[in-house]
Amino acid sequence: MHELMGPRELPTVLLIDDDLVSREVTATLLTLSGYTLFTAESGESALGKIGVKGCHPAVVLMDAQMPGVSGSELIAELRARTKAPVILISGSDAPDEQKRAADGFLLKPFDAAALGKLLEGQEAAGGVVSDGTKRVDENGDPVLSAETLEQLRSLMPEESIRQVYAAVIADLEKRMAEMELAIARGNLGTVRRIGHAIKGGCGMAGALQAARLGAKLEAIPDDPSDNHLDNSARLLNDLRSATRNLERILSSELPF
């Protein structure tokens, strides 16, 4: 294992995450906390950036589940190019093989404090799931974490927060269209992967209702029986409602 940075240093960070929302929220937390940041949306892209245009990371943050070069293979490739410690981030528990190969692990969603502790070499037990006040729908189901919203308000102006949540909504719309097509084709493996991405990205943004539905979609067995397809279709409809609920609450919380 490599040594992590001392507690007073703000290392240059290379963030590798294929999920747009997770990448944008994590990047926001890092840059507004004073870190120098490079981002990549794939393992291949990250490997091509190291050593180019000033990209000399002191720490690498990488999502544990990505298409292409990922997991233990990506960690090995990173080790060949940089001495920087590699920290896994994921919306689900990472395989033991990957955790043994990496220098740390952080479960999404996490906040700036948990991320900062891990980057500074302190213990971080895992992700931070807010138990604070929540914005709810008409049935009392939590839709948006007020604690996450307040953390963002402490870091950036409201116009920037609107842009973050606009990206969340746009990403949800895109993924729901992909999911509808996957269900029509009986491809529940794709549904599970989309659910995983929604769980992680929306969890990071405090979109609690959508993140919870993403977790349910991720848990659907990869078996295209009528029962599982019907359940996926019901969850997709619930996700559409959750997206509208999130838009409604955001229009109240962040009016133009």
In this structure, are 138 and 234 located in the same domain? yes
| pLDDT confidence of residue 138 | 67
CATH of the domain at 94: 3.40.50.2300
199 assigned to some structural domain: yes
pLDDT attached to residue 114 = 79
pLDDT, position 151: 84
- Is 2 within the bounds of a domain? no
Omega before 109 within 30 of 0, i.e. cis: yes
Q: Are residues 222 and 159 in the same domain?
A: yes
Do 237 and 138 reside in the same domain of the chain?
A: yes
Structure tokens at 233: 């279709």
Report pLDDT for 129: 37
Give the pLDDT score at 231.
95
- What's the CATH code of the domain at 183? 1.20.120.160
Secondary structure, 3-state, the chain: CCCCCCCCCCCCEEEECCCHHHHHHHHHHHHHCCCCEEEECCHHHHHHHCCCCCCCCCEEEEECCCCCCCHHHHHHHHHHHCCCCEEEEECCCCCHHHHHHCCEEEECCCCHHHHHHHHCCCCCCCCCCCCCCEEECCCCCEEEEHHHHHHHHHHCCHHHHHHHHHHHHHHHHHHHHHHHHHHHCCCHHHHHHHHHHHHHHHHHHCCHHHHHHHHHHHCCCCCCCHHHHHHHHHHHHHHHHHHHHHHHHHHHHCCC
Among residues 70, 53, 58, 64, the alpha carbon closest in space to that of 22 is found at: 64
Final residue belonging to a domain, choices 95, 119, 143: 119
Mean pLDDT by 10 residues, the chain (256 residues): 49 92 88 90 95 92 90 94 92 88 88 77 45 58 88 86 93 96 94 93 93 95 85 96 95 85
Quote the domain boundaries for residue 198: 134-253
pLDDT of residue 48: 94
**What confidence score (pLDDT) does residue 147 get?**
86
With 0.75 as the threshold, say if the pTM is over it.
Answer: yes
Residue 176's pLDDT is what?
Answer: 97
d(CA 216, CA 165): 22
Do the domain assignments include residue 3? no
Task: Verify that 111 and 159 share a domain, yes or no.
Answer: no
Distance between CA 196 and CA 188 in Å, rounded?
12
Boundary-marking domain end, from 68, 92, 119: 119
Final residue before a domain boundary, out of 119, 152, 168: 119
Residue 17: the pLDDT is 95
pLDDT of residue 121: 66
- Asked if residue 245 and residue 161 are part of one domain, the reply reads yes
Return the structure tokens found at 234: 């019901």
* Residue whose entry in the numeric block shows the structure tokens 């729901």: 176
Query: 140 with 65, same domain?
Result: no
Total of domains in the chain:
2
